[in-house]
């Protein structure tokens, strides 16, 4: 899938989604939001894609919303932003809800919606040159792109509000210390590290990944007992699934499990 501002390629069962407006820092406009939603649908549906990586073209991940394009809408800016966020939020929902691991390769500035998008990833790897900033309150706006959902869960409420109120910019190392990033790597090693992780995960039990993701996300809304009940039912179901049977058999036979067969 080669569109104008979002591209999707597939390598070794890894879907690579690239935000492709490097001339404006991969700023998100209506067209990008539409194409991102389409890419998310394709990634969630295609069987040959087992892991999804999202990154930005050039030397930035995404500077966030394209304020210049928004301002051009004049008095229609409110309805325009509802359209932009409708596509963006549906894209993020597809990415977050799919069984496949969703990995962010942050190769530079992640600001505003760009930072929100990074926070929505299951795993995030960042180059040492990366910067993270929410940026919304500085211009009198509030977060979108799931930022108000994931950020407090990642860093806690007080730190999340600090980032919003003060427009504090985090270095890649600080973002890692705060739990926004899993690992910081040298700029020239980012893609090698991310693809290594993605290709390894692509060989794994995709449905088990998806159910684990759901368990973790839903745990925030459950009591201890209700969550353990979900764990019990799901574990029993997974043990009788094709993935579970293969995984158990491989362990007992002292071999690597083959989750790609069939």
* CA distance to 54, 245, 251, per residue, from 237 (Å): 31, 11, 18
* CA distance to 20, 65, 104, 217, 246, per residue, from 52 (Å): 16, 22, 9, 19, 24
Please identify which of the residues 47, 48, 89, 187 carries the catalytic annotation: 89
Q: Is residue 144 flagged as an active site residue?
A: yes
Taking the chain, what is the end-to-end CA distance rounded to the nearest angstrom? 26
Sign of the alpha-carbon torsion through 73, 76, 78, 81: negative
* Three-point CA angle 217, 109, 220, nearest 5°: 10
Phi and psi (nearest 5°) for 213? -60, -45
Q: Is residue 89 flagged as an active site residue?
A: yes
Please identify which of the residues 29, 80, 144, 218 carries the catalytic annotation: 144
Note the residue count of the chain: 262
Closest by CA to 35, choosing from 90, 82, 73, is: 90
Catalytic residues: 89, 144
């Amino acid at each position: 899938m080669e569109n104008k501002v979002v591209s999707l390629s597939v390598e070794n069962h890894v879907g690579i989604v690239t935000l492709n407006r490097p001339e404006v820092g991969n700023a998100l406009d209506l067209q990008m939001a539409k194409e991102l939603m389409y890419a998310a649908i394709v990634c969630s549906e295609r069987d040959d894609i087992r892991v999804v990586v999202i990154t930005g073209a050039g030397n930035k991940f995404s500077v966030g919303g394209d304020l210049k394009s928004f301002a051009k809408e004049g008095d229609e800016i409110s309805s325009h932003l509802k359209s932009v966020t409708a596509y963006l939020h549906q894209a993020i929902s597809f990415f977050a809800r799919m069984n496949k691991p969703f990995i962010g390769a942050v190769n530079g500035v992640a600001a505003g919606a760009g930072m929100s998008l990074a926070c929505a990833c299951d795993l995030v790897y960042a180059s040492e040159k990366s910067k993270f900033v929410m940026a919304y309150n500085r211009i009198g706006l509030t977060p979108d792109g799931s930022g108000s959902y994931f950020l407090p869960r990642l860093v806690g409420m007080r730190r999340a509000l600090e980032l919003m109120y003060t427009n504090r910019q985090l270095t890649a190392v600080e973002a890692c210390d705060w739990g926004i990033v899993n690992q910081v790597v040298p700029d020239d090693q980012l893609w090698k590290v991310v693809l290594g992780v993605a290709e390894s995960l692509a060989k794994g039990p995709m449905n088990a990944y998806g159910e684990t993701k759901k368990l973790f996300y839903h745990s925030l809304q459950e009591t201890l007992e209700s969550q353990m009940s979900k764990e019990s039912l799901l574990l029993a179901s997974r043990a009788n699934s094709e993935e579970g049977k293969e995984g158990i058999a491989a362990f007992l036979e002292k071999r690597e499990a083959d989750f790609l067969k069939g």
